[in-house]
Amino acid sequence: MTAINSNKKTMILVTGACGQIGTELVKALREKHGRDKVVATDRHFASDSLQETGPYFKLDVLDKYELENLVCSLGITQIYHLAAVLSASGENNPLATWNLNMESLLNVLEIARQEKLDKVFWPSSIAVFGPSSPRINCPQHTVTEPTTVYGISKNAGEHWCMYYFEKFGLDVRSLRYPGLISYSAKAGGGTTDYAVDIFHQAVAQGEYVCFLREDTLLPMLYMPDAIRATLELMDAPAEQITVRTSYNLAGLSFTPAELAKAIQTELPGFKISYQPDFRQTIADSWPGSINDSEARNHWNWEPAYNLNAMTADMLKHIGPNTS
């Protein structure tokens, strides 16, 4: 393979690029850095939109040799490592989830250290918190005793990121994303997925059976805010990034009943019913709201979307009149 970047200009590799975040993040990174500067990868072949808008490679991130080969041959300077199994799917196969989430992170950190990459981004999650964490306005520094294998892997991963920063000076940055809501790609096996599925069902069927109780308060963030937060974190001067585990990040908090009411203001006939399943226990172990004052103070984070603005925008994009 020929090197397409030999002068150490920014060259980005994204893992897990076909997922809910990757499809939007790759687009934003290509708009910012140029289409040829952002290499999208995933373990399977991509949708047309990812392959047609820039370089794409099939890559299983557990294959360290292949990852290293791509990093070296393409002159990669930054990795955004998104590939993971999420909270609900993770409980179906805990050991495989641990293996993917941890081994892939260690592969990325080790290659970034060896090849002296400029920066790494790795997402953590509100899943690092557990029943012993404060439920409301959960602070940056508090008890983290997660109950899911996904949360355990994110908790351990945060400490590995800090270890690589402190021991080796690797500039690895991270956000504890809350549940992300978007219209472009399906949500991938999480506990907060109801808040994505509900919009598609509301438009397609006019009704939705929710797998969480109506009063389950959870922290969420609209995807445009999440993408902007990611780019802003990665652009901030290194000395401003003093949380080297992962930053708390908040947008909005709502219950399924509150989201349904917001949808009903746009689609008055919409009906919701509730059949909680195993994901209720996971949701009940997470905080209902997050204190993100460190992110606000250190690199000026501020979300833009509230519940009504997000709901209107989601329905505008997936509504029956969308062309």
| Beta carbon of residue 7, minimum distance to ligand NAD (angstroms, whole number) | 28
User: What's the chain's length in residues?
Assistant: 323
Work out whether 87 is an interface residue with ligand AKB (CB under 6 A). yes
Tell me the C-alpha distance between 274 and 209, whole Å: 5
Site map 14..33 versus ligand NAD, x via CB under 6 A: -xx-xxxxx-----------
How far is residue 285's CA from residue 104's CA, in Å, rounded to a whole number?
26
Read off the tokens for 8.
Answer: 């150490």
Rounded to 5°, angle at Cα 48 from 42 and 52: 95
* SS3 state of residue 11: coil
100 near ligand NAD, judged by CB under 6 A: yes
DSSP line for 178-194 = -EEE-SSS---S-STTH
Angle at 190 between CA 300 and CA 178, to 5 degrees: 15
Neighbour tally for 312: CB within 10 Å: 16
Residue 43 interface partner, choices ligand NAD, ligand AKB, none, CB cut-off 5-8 Å depending on type: ligand NAD
- Give the range of 38-46, 95-103, 124-132, 230-238 binding ligand AKB by CB under 6 A: 124-132
146 lies in the site for ligand AKB, by CB under 6 A: no
Q: Is 259 in the site for ligand AKB (CB under 6 A)?
A: no
- Residue 250 makes contact with ligand AKB by CB under 6 A: no
Classify 244 as helix, strand or coil.
coil
Question: Taking CB under 6 A as the criterion, which residues in 7-66 touch ligand AKB?
Answer: none
- The residues that touch ligand NAD, with contacts defined as CB under 6 A, are 15-16, 18-22, 42-43, 59-62, 82-84, 86, 100, 123, 125, 177, 179-180, 188-190, 192
Residues that bind ligand AKB (CB under 6 A): 86-87, 125-127, 150, 178-179, 190-192
